[in-house]
Amino acid sequence: MSRLDRTRTSPHQLRPFFSSQNLLNRSDGSAQFDFGGSSVLCSVTGPAEVKLRDEKLDKATLEVVVRPLVGLPGVKDKALERNIRETLEPLVLSGLHPRTLVQIVVQTMKDDGSIASTAFNAAIMALLDAGIPLSSILGSVTCTIDSQTNDILLDPTTEELAQAKSTHVFVFDNKASIHAEDKSSMDHDQASSTQESSSAAVLFSDSTGLFTEGEYLECAHVCFKAAQAVHGFIRTAVEKKLLKEYQQTSA
């Protein structure tokens, strides 16, 4: 079955990833993350001075600013800001930098669907680039259920989103995926799909539309598997960057 964008052959196929870190030289860390035609640029400044009003005595304050592709930020962007902030808060070891500010600015560069997931992935890569201490890495994938075929389509484009029955955004941390890897390597035959999906601990989930509980859990399972690819990609990207830095310093 071919997808609407005609570049993919399977409903569970993701668009090609692309990322690059350290693009902006006036921020402490930055990253761009692409899912095919969707692209988000993210910058991180911090730990920096915090406004007295936002100061927290025992941890760093996280501030997320979302800038849309065109026009002024609206209610949708505010909702995404809050979602990104509350998802990153438990991941950032903010206790290490009390009474400081970590500011994350998310700028959409190209919009072809799955912007929320792209923004999540860009934000975590920018935090890694800025060297902010993290307890784990997140990976995000969006999926939709098609209104005509009832298929689960991963990483939908704008066109596919327009004819979706429901849309689901998931974020998983890599603790669960490491756990699943260990499990599948230990008892390869017994690793049934139910075991895997029960280990899929959800960090963030946002679903709208009309769907059943079964469909929701199925989507969570499919996205969990796809998020492994995102985790792997982020890992290789960071490894490559560190290798390059090491070569430069030792040369």
Partner 1 sequence: MASEPTNLAISPAFTFSASTFQKLHPLEYFRKFASQGVRPDGRLLSSFRPTTVHYGVITTADGSAMVRMGGTTVVCGVKAEVAEPRLHAPDQGYLVPNVELSPICSSAFRPGAPSEQAQVVSEQIHRVLQESKVLDLKELCIEEGKAVWSLWVDVVCVSYDGNICDAALTSVMAALSNVRIRKPTYEEGVVKVAGVDLLDDENSFRLNLARTPLSVSFALLDTDLILLADPNSAEESISQGQIVITLDETGQLCAVSKVGAASSSQQLLKQCIERARERSQELRRIMNQEQ
Question: Which spans of this chain sit near partner 1 (rule: CB under 8 A)?
Answer: 75-76, 78-79, 81-83, 86-87, 89-90, 166-167, 172-173, 175-176, 197-198, 200-213, 216-217, 220
* Smallest separation, CB 232 to partner 1 (Å): 18
* Smallest separation, CB 212 to partner 1 (Å): 6
Residue closer to partner 1 (CB basis): 1 or 57 = 57
- Largest Cα–Cα separation, the chain: 58
* Smallest separation, CB 175 to partner 1 (Å): 7
CA 116, CA 120: separation in Å to the nearest integer?
A: 6
CA 8, CA 222: separation in Å to the nearest integer?
A: 17
CA 88, CA 197: separation in Å to the nearest integer?
A: 23
**Which residues are within 8 A (CB) of 95 and not within 5 positions of it... i.e. 6 or more apart?**
58, 59
Q: Residues 179, 199: contact at Cβ < 8 Å?
A: yes
Residue closer to partner 1 (CB basis): 192 or 198 = 198
Residue closer to partner 1 (CB basis): 40 or 223 = 223
Amino acid at 21: Q
* Smallest separation, CB 151 to partner 1 (Å): 18
